[in-house]
Structure 1
Amino acid sequence: MLLVVIGLVLLYSTSSYNGQVKFHDPYHYLKKQGFATILGLAGMFAVAGIDYHKWVPLANLGYLTAVLLSVAVIFVGDEYNGSKRWLSLGPVSFQPSEFAKVAIIFFLACLVTKHVKTMGKFSTMIRVMLPVFPIVGLVGASNLSTAIIILGIAAVLIFVASPKYLQFIAMAAAAVGFLGIFLALESYRLERLAIWRNPEQYEKGYQTLQGLYAIGSGGLFGRGLGESVQKLGFLPEAQNDMIFSIICEELGLVGASLIVLLFLILIWRFFVIATQAKDLLGALIASGAMAHMMIQVILNIAVVTNTIPNTGITLPFISYGGTSVLFLLLEMGLVLSVSNLIK
């Protein structure tokens, strides 16, 4: 809840200038995010009150829906800023990849639970991983970062059920090969590697440099909430993937560290719930949510600080994105339902 409230405050601070310039309304982004947050909170409390075992019969349907929506994005998806990641249903647009993350967590948790007695076998691990690849391939065609997150979630879930290191070395090698193919398929992905190494030499490195300027100018305690200079047209779409750089500029190293600490506490609570869960299914659901949160936060901060190439990934609960916050809160509800059954 702290992250949700802080996220809305920081989103308004970061997006008010862009909202005024583009839509003549400084509250434009806050209104849309606030509406999605209200829906998400209502959904979270509803899901938290339902025994998670009751969702098991719907696991396959959720997986198939995620596949179909991902296929639909390829053929009839909406393209924004060069990326085709959205579907529109009348006036409402959403990212199916956000639904796919939650669907794959629950689907794999059910699948691993079903095959838990033979999870030590390499053949079983392959059988469990196979359904992940269609989702990864479809999502990765337009959104490589989300494909990486889904692969990471799958690896963690299988490791929790059968922590055999040799199998994971083989799986990691396969994942590296898989990512290598995706990088080679699109020239712009290879270009991102070059921009990452020398952002000052490329026009497309502008966003990265502006983000680094914001981080550096924040110092220890920041310029103050709402006092960012880089959000005033210098850092494009500051309210999206690069919002952490504005947090560093306005709140400084101290403020940014406190937000990272909140994420660490949340991840720790996932771990506690997983270890104390009533059964393996509950443990896997909490572990999947933990992996999702951990990987996404690490990737976002790594991109903003130019530690890894730009992959276009949001900071959970804080970056602008109604679909993201909605499904994140539903995922939190699922973990809370696991927690509610702990005696």
Structure 2
Amino acid sequence: MKTIFKHIKGDKTIWAIFAVLAILSFMPVYSASTNLVYLVGSGSTLGYLVKHMVLLIMGFGIIYGVHKIPYRYFSGGSVIMMPIVIILLIFTLTQGTTIGGANASRWINIPFVGIGFQTSTLAGLVLMVYVARYLSRNKEKEIKFKESLFQLWLPVAAVLILILPANFSTTAIIFVMILVVTFIGGYPIKYIAFIIGAGLVALTFFVLVAKAFPDAMPNRVQTWKNRIENFSNPDEKEAYQVEKAKIAIATGGPIGVGPGKSVQKNFLPQSTSDFIFAIIIEEYGLAGGFLIVSIYFLLFFRMFVVIRKTTTIFGTLLVVGVGCPIIFQATINMAVATNLFPVTGQTLPLISSGGTSIWMTCFALGMILSVSASKEETEEDILDDNPLNILHETI
């Protein structure tokens, strides 16, 4: 055990948070997977648990490997990865396959593994690092809007436009987080206001095009419209999941009905992912729900501890850019389960089942730990991040 801790660097509390969330996720995923087994008729509860454990073990490997990389490499690495993620997003949009009868335009299948990979999650992570890189390199300069349009906002727009048709909620989260990072990074507020306006115009244009050519993007705009309308004026059919989630929460009470004794898990189609927080409250009560919220709050607090100790602008913006979306996503997931927000399809980080969400969350935590483990990086080191040099050093 001492040997393991000897090789683990960075904020020990963040390591502990990962371990606690991983351990706490086993019982809810195992319990909620009965829905998939008995109603969908696929796999076994033990099989889903083993798969979830394997994904978390792989996630630990990702955190460990990433936190060993000096975080300055992520700056130039984002430039290398940007065209790759754009190609992946285009491929994802054009594949047009289905997974389990559902639209799979958000996923691509990993050959020989049988796991779907959500490319938008990877794209969002790369984009955050890219934005942090741009802002840190121009912190001491006067930012010219025309130059920033090509260097910053053109790549951002390209990625968001490719994510939008299949996943509006992820697009919105990434866009909001980018605005937060640019504001913290000192990007002029008047330019941010213009970008917000341009984003709203682009979204309106997309909706009009989608309505004019419904065969090109079937049901996407209608799905968004239905979710918003059903949140304000729910009907019996469309509000089914939300109603079952509310029943689960009401049934839980202060201490819950007990591990594995949830009833609503048999009725919630997304009980292992989107609505797992409702199952946690049903089985472990408000005490269990409060514990989960407290852990995410502690993670948020530790990010600021890391930021306070960081000696570079890029390190600060990197932690904000890749860390805050984890907390934001967790907040949205819990808000959906408690009917405070329309259904979005966002999972609960490190607790919900799903490979892509776990892996990308672990990659982000690895980056944060890399920043917290670094004590000798300087702003000059960060600026010396030529992608060609990084490729050469990697090879």
TM-score, length-scaled by structure 1: 0.91
Determine whether 1:341 maps to 2:381: no
Aligned equivalents of 1:307 and 1:181: distance in 2?
Answer: 28
More off after superposition, 182-191 vs 307-316: 182-191
Q: Describe how 1:190-209 pairs up with structure 2 within 5 A.
A: 190-199=225-234, 201-209=235-243
- Given that residues 27 and 259 in structure 2 are in contact (C-alpha distance below 8 angstroms), is that contact kept between their aligned partners in structure 1? no
1:108 counterpart = 2:111:
no
2:180 corresponds in structure 1 to 156
Residue number among 131, 143, 149 corresponding to 2:167 in the alignment: 143
After superposition, give the CA deviation of every residue in 1:39-84 in whole Å (9 maximum; x if it has no partner).
1111211111121113333221211111111111111153342352
- TM-score normalised by length of structure 2: 0.80
* Secondary structure in 1 matching 2:261: coil
Which of 257, 268, 279 does residue 223 from structure 1 map onto? Answer: 257
1:307 aligns with 2:340: yes
Residues 259, 178 of structure 1: alpha-carbon distance in 2 compared, 3 angstrom cutoff: farther
Who is 1:259 aligned against?
Answer: 292
Tell me which residue corresponds to 1:36: 55
CA contact (8 A) 2:25 2:351 kept: yes
Equivalent in 151, 155, 158 of residue 134 of structure 1? 158
Q: Distance in 2 between matches of 1:275 and 1:178?
A: 37
1:290 aligns with 2:308: no
Secondary structure class of the residue paired with 1:35: helix
SS in 2 for 1:84: coil
Correspondence 1:84 to 2:108: no
Change (3 A) 1:140 1:213: same
Aligned counterpart, 2:246: 212
- Bigger drift between 125-134 and 56-65 goes to 125-134
Matches of 1:303 and 1:4, distance apart in 2: 22
How do residues 317-336 of structure 1 correspond to structure 2 at under 5 angstroms? Answer: 317-336=350-369
- Separation of aligned partners in 2, 1:124 and 1:251: 53
Deviations 1:246-287 (A, max 9, x none): 111111112101100100100111122123212111111111
Task: Summarize the Cα distance change of 1:160–1:124 in structure 2 as closer, same or farther, 3 Å threshold.
Answer: farther
What secondary structure sits across from 1:226 in the alignment?
Answer: coil
Give the deviation of 1:122 after TM superposition.
4.8
| Alignment RMSD | 2.2
Is the partner of 1:87 in helix, strand or coil?
strand
- Write the distance in 1 (CA, Å) between the matches of 2:337 and 2:200: 23
Match for 1:11 among 29, 33, 36? 29
Per-residue deviation, 1:10 = 1.9
What is the deviation of 1:295? 1.6
Structure-2 residue corresponding to 1:240 = 273
Count of residues in correspondence between the two structures: 341
Residues 216-236 of structure 1 deviation map (CA, whole Å, 9 limit, x = unaligned):
11122211121100012x111
Q: CA deviation at 1:13?
A: 2.1
Rg (Cα) greater in structure: 2
Pairwise CA distance, 1:137: 1.2
Worse-superposed segment, 288-297 or 163-172: 163-172
SS in 2 for 1:214: helix
Assess if the C-alpha contact under 8 Å between 2:96 and 2:104 holds in 1: no
Give the AA of the match of 1:97: S
How many Å separate the matches in 2 of 1:262 and 1:114?
Answer: 34
Amino acid at match of 1:86: W
What are the superposed Cα offsets for residues 191-241 of structure 1, whole Å, 9 maximum, x if unpaired? 221211222x24122111111111111122211121100012x11131011
Three-state SS of the structure 2 residue aligned to 1:278 is coil
Kept in 2, the 8 Å contact 1:70–1:138? The answer is: yes
Pairs within 5 Å for 1:57-96: 57-80=76-99, 81-92=102-113, 93-96=116-119
The one-letter code of the counterpart of 2:223 is: Y
- Provide the rounded CA distance (Å) in 2 between the counterparts of 1:213 and 1:181: 39
Residue 23 of structure 1 aligns to a residue whose secondary structure is coil
Native 8 Å contact 1:248 1:255 kept in 2: yes
| Cα deviation digits, residues 125-170 of structure 1 (max 9, x gap) | 6452332111111111101111112112211211121175554444
C-alpha contact (below 8 Å) 1:47/1:334 kept by paired residues: yes
> Is the Cα–Cα contact under 8 Å of residues 79 and 85 in structure 1 kept in the other structure?
no
Unaligned residue ranges in structure 2 (runs of 5+): 1-18, 211-220, 377-395
